[in-house]
Every structure is written in structure tokens, then in C-alpha cells.
Amino acid sequence: MSTDAVRTHTADGVNRRIDERVEGCVRHMAEQDRAAISDYLNKLEREWDLNRVVSVAASTVTVLGLVLGAKDGRGWRVVSGVAAGLLLQHGLLGFGPLAGLVRMLGVRTRKEIDLEKFALKALRGDFERIPHDGGPLARANAALVAAQS
């Protein structure tokens, strides 16, 4: 899997757990029919990626802090400032403390979600490079290789 800022700054165990989840899912789906794969692909289309989760969480805390700060004082405005700063850091650097917390919860990057989607599309037969002979494991491995290239 290619590296990016989030994966580089995420603990190896967390990355490994996320990768194993993707591989396990693709192997499981290799034993399913086209309709089941299509249903799961629709679910993946709705999955929130790390950037969306971080943006919504930090923005929510920022707005909440501003609203509560207007009522109860300065402390809440500091919370808003910190949340906005963390969001800015994530936007500029592509990672930050919020991303680390969200990764530990198993939230994936867009690249990781797309890898699973492309592997499943290959299994479904959307690409010609996947052999149809061999067992489900061989097909799952070929789909993962095709999605990564």
C-alpha cells in the first residue's frame, strides 16, 4: 500500500489492523456473489474517511465552544481556538493529533477505502485482469494486487 502522511504518522499496529480488516473483507467477499459485492460497495460509498471525520469533529467542537463561550465565558473560546488550530494543522500537514485519535478508532483514509473498493470491483468482474480460475483466495489476492497497481 502506498504511503501518505496519515499512514506514516500512524502506529504500525493501527495500520496493520486496518490493512488486515481490508484484506479479510476482500477474502470474505471473494466467496460471495455479485449482488452481495455490489451491496457492500454501496456501503463503502457512504463510509466517512479520516479527513471528513476530523473536519466534522473539529468544526463541531469549534462551533460548540463559540456558542458556549458566548454564554459562559472565555474558557470555551479557548477550546474553540484549540480545535480550530488542530483542524488547521491537519489541513496544512495532512495529519495531526486528531487524525491519530481517529485512526485508533479504525477510521480509514480515502486511499484505504478506495483500495478496498477497487479490489471488490475487480472481484465483481469490473476489470479483465482478474483470473476467474482458482479458488477464492487466489482471486482475492489477484484483486488486491490489481487494486494496488
Q: What pLDDT, on the 0 to 100 scale, is given for residue 2?
A: 39
Q: What pLDDT, on the 0 to 100 scale, is given for residue 129?
A: 65
Distance between CA atoms of 85 and 83, rounded to whole angstroms? 5
Taking the CA atoms of the chain, what radius of gyration do you get in angstroms?
19
Residues 6+ apart with CB under 8 A from 130: 122, 123, 139, 142, 143, 146
pTM, two decimals, is 0.79
Domain boundaries of the chain, sorted by first residue: 1-47+108-149, 49-107
Q: What pLDDT, on the 0 to 100 scale, is given for residue 143?
A: 78
Q: What pLDDT, on the 0 to 100 scale, is given for residue 145?
A: 78
Ranges under pLDDT 70 in the chain: 1-3, 128-132, 149
* Joined grid coordinates for residue 92: 496544512
